[in-house]
Amino acid sequence: MAYEKREQLYEGKAKKVYATEDPNVVIVSYKDDATAFNGQKKGTITGKGAINNRMTNNLMRRLEAKGVPTHYIEELNDRETAVKKVSIVPLEVIVRNISAGSFAKRYGVEEGIVFDEPTIEFSYKNDDLHDPLINSYHAVALKLATWDEIDTIKKYAFQVNDFLKKTLAECGVTLVDFKLEFGKTADGTIVLADEISPDTCRLWDEKTHEKLDKDRFRRDLGGAEEAYEEVMRRLMGDR
């Protein structure tokens, strides 16, 4: 089925969303734009839109096969994908296997401590408030999600972690942490939405611990394009 792109519904920092002729389907279009620190730092990672689109779709198809429902419908071209129209649960769901980033900063520990078990946390998706950390009681009090939805989200997030960690380990990449977003379809089903890419994951080379993700841009390390291409090549071959 070929979906036709209609009016633009939304433009985010890294993607645009368009309506289609089907009210239950939208098209996401991935940009090369990169931002960090709540949009204060802006730049471009050439080729990232196509990489993030194709990598997300590849991983979502494989997650569906493992029983994690996603918004994915059909890849339309290098940058564009038809997905189910959902209302996004305004929580950033962060799973960590190794200390890094805001965890290391908040608790005053070095990066690279391997946890015995993965951790999960939520941030309230709200740019004006800078996406503050939120606990599940507060999320329920604010009616951002119900307890059932939070339980479902946690279950899926850990399933995604098990799958991603193993899949990446097989190509010599260590999954440090990542961020997921979930959406609700018209009938209230919770599905994995947004993306899974080097924008939203911390990925370290297993041997050298070289950073293969957006931290290269956030921290001005250079070589972001090459790092994204390297992850893509290892995960998906040259397709």
Applying CB under 6 A, which part among 54-62, 83-91, 176-184, 223-231 lies near ligand TMP? Answer: 176-184
186 φ/ψ sector (left φ>0, alpha ψ -120 to 50, else beta): alpha
Residue in this structure with the two tokens 């994908």, named with its chain if needed: 81
Reported as type and span, the H/E element at residue 94 is strand 91-98
Cβ atoms within 10 Å, residue 8: 12
Residue 179 binds to ligand TMP (criterion: CB under 6 A): yes
148 class by beta-carbon count within 10 Å (0-12 exposed, 13-18 middle, 19+ buried)? exposed
Cβ atoms within 10 Å, residue 1: 7
CB of 184 to ligand TMP, least distance (A): 20
Pairing of strands 25-30, 72-75: unpaired
Applying CB under 6 A, which part among 110-118, 150-158, 173-181, 182-190 lies near ligand TMP? Answer: 173-181
**CB of 19 or CB of 59, closer to ligand TMP:** 59
Question: Alpha-carbon distance 135 to 230, whole Å?
Answer: 36
Binding-site member from 69, 90, 101, 118 for ligand TMP (CB under 6 A) = 101
CB of 238 to ligand TMP, least distance (A): 26
Residue 178 binds to ligand TMP (criterion: CB under 6 A): yes
**CB of 12 or CB of 188, closer to ligand TMP:** 12
CB of 166 to ligand TMP, least distance (A): 18
Which phi and psi (to 5°) does residue 72 adopt? -60, 135
Residue 201 binds to ligand TMP (criterion: CB under 6 A): yes
Positions 30 through 49 that interact with ligand TMP (CB under 6 A) = none
Which string of DSSP letters, residue by residue, matches 105-131?
A: HHHT--TTPEEEEEEEEEEE--GGGT-
- For residues 26 and 18, the answer to whether their CB atoms sit within 8 Å is yes
**CB of 47 or CB of 101, closer to ligand TMP:** 101
**CB of 19 or CB of 199, closer to ligand TMP:** 199
Positions 202 through 231 that interact with ligand TMP (CB under 6 A) = 202
Residue 94 binds to ligand TMP (criterion: CB under 6 A): yes
Binding site for ligand TMP (CB under 6 A): 94, 100-103, 177-179, 200-202
